[in-house]
Amino acid sequence: MNDATAASAVTRANADAISREISWLEKVIEARLGHFFDGTTTPFAVPPAPTQERGTVLGDLIARTGMNTSARMVLALAVAPHVNSAVLDPFYVKNSAIDRAFSQFGGHPDAGAAFIPSVETALFLIAGTDTAARIGAMQLFDPDHPLRLSAGVTLTQTPPSQVSRLDIPVHRVVALCDGKPPRPDFSPNFPARRLTTKLRWDDLILPAGVRDQLQHILSWLENRDQILDDWGMERVFGRGYKALFYGPPGTGKTLTATLLGQRTGLDVYRVDLSMVVSKYIGETEKNLGLIFDMAAERDWILFFDEADALFGTRTATASSNDRHANQEVSYLLQRIEECQSLVILASNLRSNIDDAFFRRFQSAVGFARPTVPERLQLWQNTLSTVPVAEDVSLRRLARDHDLSGAAIANIVRHAAVSALRREGETVATEDIKSAITAEMRKEGRTS
């Protein structure tokens, strides 16, 4: 079997598992409604849940979390409107005595053509009208229940009716179907962007001490399961890890965060902090909340660039805008604190960060402007695939110009364009020199 067929076989198995579960839900609904309309004489027999083999996303989820029949009913009910809403149509039957829907079946009042299940619907399926059994089933909706934490079932209370709508985000459904959810797009509702790079870990030019600190973070990511689970340390400290990257612009902070993800196979998302200070305060918290939820669920590395806004001693509030901003910041700090994956905050200035805040990081990595030998390596790496004229002395360039890694990358780009503009076959010293001058001018310095 080649890779493509293997992948589609897995997807097929996942989809089959879900359709088995939904067919079972259909039988449960039929049995429950039959029992409800027949009167209470016949005992209610739950149709047996299908066996879900390990190896499918659903099967693994059920096995891992130990979900019982009731929990599986709730999950199937949340998934049904996304994959086969007709299964819920029987709930639309009208109570002819009063000519409206049966309130016992729950459902969301805003429902259009398709029935939208609510907590009430789930309780009815599980426990019928047996009050004690219904109360017993309520623990399924506890925020700590695997249905909420692992399966991602959501409850939304919608005023004015305060009906608790039962749902599950689409990306969860997709994940159940193919095991590999599409990555979310950047949008105002999702102010985070995935960072990628074609550079490799070996391209990073950093002093040995800094490399060692980064290696430590890598080792944490690679070995945390053993430390937390096998060595039982999860009770002492959680899965979260907070790192601070501080140092001048262009010294490799963003690149390093990106490469940590590349090395460990984890996605790195850069959160756009400009969205944090929004006047639509509730919206921002919801959007940020979504990022943190997804980060926890998918084990993303979260990267907050220019995080200084978060550290500043929070000033006395002048305007209501400031108050909102402060509230956002407090919310964000609390979520960072609780976050169960790696969070990296980047800042240009160590002095911006008060000591109390500093202590909360598991590691603080200082990036500095590169030394002469480091600059030589940066020049060599950046130019390694570029045809360079013989008169170019990288040693001299490294010695004479105090430039950051980012500046060197910019200069090489600028010089390459100049070389081609004058129809040169190689990048010459003059191209590099004029590029350096341009870069210095940009930085407000002179060479």
Ligand X SMILES: Nc1ncnc2c1ncn2[C@@H]1O[C@H](COP(=O)(O)OP(=O)(O)OP(=O)(O)O)[C@@H](O)[C@H]1O
Q: What does the binding site for Mg ion look like in residue numbers (CB under 5 A)?
A: 253-254
Q: Which residues pair with 342 in a beta bridge?
A: 241
Q: Rule CB under 6 A: say whether 107 interacts with ligand X.
A: no
| Residues in 46-105 at the binding interface with ligand X, rule: CB under 6 A | none
Kindly tell me which of 221 and 345 has the beta carbon lying closer to ligand X. Answer: 345
d(CA 13, CA 183): 22
Residue 213 touches which of ligand X, Mg ion, none (CB < 5 to 8 A by kind)? Answer: none
Amino acid at 51: T
Kindly tell me which of 107 and 261 has the beta carbon lying closer to ligand X. Answer: 261
Q: Which stretch binds ligand X (CB under 6 A): 161-169, 246-254, 289-297, 390-398?
A: 246-254
Q: Which stretch binds ligand X (CB under 6 A): 128-136, 172-180, 249-257, 391-399?
A: 249-257
Two structure tokens written together for 221: 């990511």
| Residues in 384-443 at the binding interface with ligand X, rule: CB under 6 A | 405-406, 409
**Minimum distance from residue 258 beta carbon to ligand X (Å):** 8
The DSSP output letter for 167 is E
148 HSE (CA, 13 A, CB side) = 13
The DSSP output letter for 227 is I
Q: Rule CB under 6 A: say whether 204 interacts with ligand X.
A: yes
d(CA 295, CA 81): 26
Residue 392 touches which of ligand X, Mg ion, none (CB < 5 to 8 A by kind)? Answer: none
Q: Rule CB under 6 A: say whether 118 interacts with ligand X.
A: no
Q: How far is CA 269 from CA 19, 95, 285, in A?
A: 33, 51, 17
The DSSP output letter for 190 is B
Q: Closest Cα to residue 303, out of 254, 352, 235, 374?
A: 254
Kindly tell me which of 14 and 347 has the beta carbon lying closer to ligand X. Answer: 347
Beta strand 301-304 with 342-347 is parallel
**Minimum distance from residue 382 beta carbon to ligand X (Å):** 7
Q: Rule CB under 6 A: say whether 164 interacts with ligand X.
A: no
**Minimum distance from residue 429 beta carbon to Mg ion (Å):** 30
Q: Rule CB under 6 A: say whether 205 interacts with ligand X.
A: yes
Residues 6+ apart with CB under 8 A from 403: 370, 375, 411, 436, 439
Kindly tell me which of 107 and 370 has the beta carbon lying closer to ligand X. Answer: 370
Give 48-56's long-range contacts (Cβ < 8 A, gap of 24+): 49/21, 49/24, 50/20, 50/21, 50/23, 50/24, 52/17, 52/20, 52/21, 53/13, 53/17, 55/13, 56/10, 56/13, 56/14, 56/16, 56/17
Kindly tell me which of 181 and 250 has the beta carbon lying closer to Mg ion. Answer: 250
**Minimum distance from residue 348 beta carbon to ligand X (Å):** 5
Residue 59 touches which of Mg ion, ligand X, none (CB < 5 to 8 A by kind)? Answer: none
Residue 169 touches which of ligand X, Mg ion, none (CB < 5 to 8 A by kind)? Answer: none
Q: Rule CB under 6 A: say whether 252 interacts with ligand X.
A: yes
**Minimum distance from residue 193 beta carbon to ligand X (Å):** 14
**Minimum distance from residue 302 beta carbon to Mg ion (Å):** 14
Q: Which stretch binds ligand X (CB under 6 A): 100-108, 203-211, 275-283, 288-296?
A: 203-211
**Minimum distance from residue 261 beta carbon to ligand X (Å):** 13
**Minimum distance from residue 376 beta carbon to ligand X (Å):** 12
Kindly tell me which of 75 and 257 has the beta carbon lying closer to ligand X. Answer: 257
Q: Rule CB under 6 A: say whether 209 interacts with ligand X.
A: no
Instruction: Report whether the peptide linkage leading into residue 249 is cis, meaning its omega lies within 30 degrees of zero.
Output: no
- Residue that the structure tokens 């940590």 belong to: 260
| Residues in 351-370 at the binding interface with ligand X, rule: CB under 6 A | 367
Q: In 10 A of CB 280, how many CB atoms?
A: 11
Q: How far is CA 335 from CA 39, 82, 368, in A?
A: 50, 30, 29
Two structure tokens written together for 57: 């996303």
Q: Which stretch binds ligand X (CB under 6 A): 174-182, 250-258, 289-297, 333-341?
A: 250-258
Q: Rule CB under 6 A: say whether 348 interacts with ligand X.
A: yes
Total residues binding ligand X (CB under 6 A): 18
d(CA 386, CA 105): 70
Q: Which residues of this chain interact with ligand X, rule CB under 6 A?
A: 203-206, 249-255, 305, 348, 367, 378, 405-406, 409
